[in-house]
Amino acid sequence: MELSIIVPLYNEAESLPSLHEWISRVMKENKFSYELLFVNDGSTDDSWRVIRTLQKQDKEHVHGICFRRNYGKSAALYCGFKAAQGDVVITMDADLQDSPDEIPELYRMITEDGFDLVSGWKQKRYDNALTKNLPSKLFNATARRVTGIQLHDMNCGLKAYRKDVVKNIEVFSEMHRYIPYLAKNAGFTKIGEKVVQHRKREFGVSKFGMNRFVNGYLDLMTIWFLNKFGKQPMHFFGLVGSLMFLIGMIAICIVIGMKIHALCTVGTSMLLGVNPYFHISILMMILGCMLFLAGFLGELIIRNSQSRNDYLIKEEI
The pLDDT value given to residue 246:
93
Least confident of 71-80, 177-186, 260-269: 260-269
- Residues 109 and 243 occupy one common structural domain: no
Q: Say if residue 241 is in the same domain as residue 93.
A: no
| Spatial CA neighbour of 157 closest among 311, 17, 6 | 6
- Summarised one tens digit per residue, pLDDT across range 198-225 is 887 777 666 555 566 677 777 777 777 7
Residues with Cβ within 8 Å of 90's Cβ and at least 6 positions away in sequence, in order, are 3, 4, 5, 6, 103, 106, 107, 158, 159, 160, 161
Dist CA 157 CA 161 (whole Å):
12
Contact of 207 with 97, CB cutoff 8 Å = no
Model pLDDT, residue 264: 82
Global confidence as pTM: 0.76
**Statement to judge: residues 290 and 154 lie in one domain:** no
Residues 204 and 269 in one domain: no
- Out of 209, 229, 249, pick the residue that ends a domain: 229
DSSP assignment string, 278-295: HHHHHHHHHHHHHHHHHH
pLDDT of residue 209: 55
Query: Given CA atoms 68, 73, 78, 79 in this order, what sign does their dihedral have?
Result: positive
User: What's the average model confidence in pLDDT over 238-266?
Assistant: 86
- Tell me whether residue 263 is in a domain: yes
Average of per-residue pLDDT across 296-303: 79
> Could you say which of 229, 252, 284 is where a domain stops?
229
**CA 80, CA 83: separation in Å to the nearest integer?**
5
139 and 182 both lie in a single domain: yes
The β-bridge partners of 194 are 120
Q: Tell me the torsion sign for CA atoms 178, 184, 188, 193.
A: positive
In terms of domains, do 218 and 274 share one? no
With respect to residue 239, please indicate whether it lies within any of the assigned structural domains: yes
The whole domain housing 290 covers: 234-306
- The answer on 241 and 218 residing in a single domain is no
Kindly state whether residue 312 falls inside one of the protein's structural domains: no
**Does the pLDDT of residue 123 top 90, yes or no?**
no
